[in-house]
Amino acid sequence: MSEEHNHEHKYRKEIINRLAKVEGHLRSVKEMAINGRQCPDILLQIAAVQKALDGAAKLLLKDHLENCVVDAVHHGNEEQVIAELNAAINSYIR
């Protein structure tokens, strides 16, 4: 699963941008904890980070379906790609 893809990913830049925003937001939440902010405020921000991560994951799944799965069908290796997708989904949704 760690091999590089040789086809275009339509949403790659948007996914990377979303993850960069999540990274910055998470650093801010950590600073809130370090500075002793109120627990409800920190929990609210953690929920926002989780929602942002879920949004990035949803976009990544869309990208995978529209690009990787379609490419796999065209090249006859859809069973492998579907097995990898199922493993990833099972890891993400527990």
Give the Cα separation of 45 and 60 in Å (integer).
Answer: 23
Q: Which pLDDT does position 5 carry in this prediction?
A: 59
Please give the average per-residue pLDDT across 21-48, as a whole number: 97
Please give the average per-residue pLDDT across 51-62, as a whole number: 94
pLDDT greater than 80 at residue 89: yes
Long-range contacts (CB closer than 8 Å, 24 or more residues apart) made by 20-27: 21/52, 22/49, 22/52, 22/53, 22/56, 25/49, 25/52
Pick the residue with more confidence: 22 or 67?
22
Q: Which pLDDT does position 29 carry in this prediction?
A: 98
| Integer angstrom CA distances of residue 26 from 19, 22, 32 | 10, 6, 10
